[in-house]
Amino acid sequence: MKDEQKKKITEMRRQGRGYAEIADVVKLPQGTVKSFCWRNQIANANLTDKTKPSKNGCRNCGCQLEKKADAPPRKFCSDQCRSEWWSKNRKPNSSAVCTCCHKEFSYYGKTVRKYCSHDCFIKDRFGGTS
């Protein structure tokens, strides 16, 4: 194993990445990565150290988030990433029929939704003259 790979493994592991992902990046078998981490006691930062800055990465795309001292920590870099992540990780518990395109759609949340998408909302509201 090259020093370069060791460094990369350590770095990624500290960021809370999975073995499979790391193995893919350093092009080593997953088992090698795993035993290297165990031998060197490189723990998943997300489990052991909650103060590590890598926790500030966007949960959806993993990009680094700016941290403002007076603001609560953000979990996503953008609203788009937030909704993408939730739609992937949360099961919808509501469904409705879109007022605009009359398609049935499902979503998560308690609020009543009339439109399947923002596009439909705009279309119905402004008659497509956006």
Stretch that binds Zn ion, among 9-17, 19-27, 61-69, 88-96 (CB under 5 A): 61-69
Rounded Cα distance, 105 and 39, in Å: 49
Q: Which of residues 101-130 bind Zn ion (CB under 5 A)?
A: 101, 116, 120
Q: Please report how close the Cβ of residue 49 comes to Zn ion at its closest, in angstroms.
A: 22
77 forms part of the interface with Zn ion (CB under 5 A)? yes
H-helix segments, 1-130: 3-14, 19-26, 30-39, 45-48, 79-89, 118-126
Binding site for Zn ion (CB under 5 A): 58, 60-61, 77, 81, 98, 100-101, 116, 120
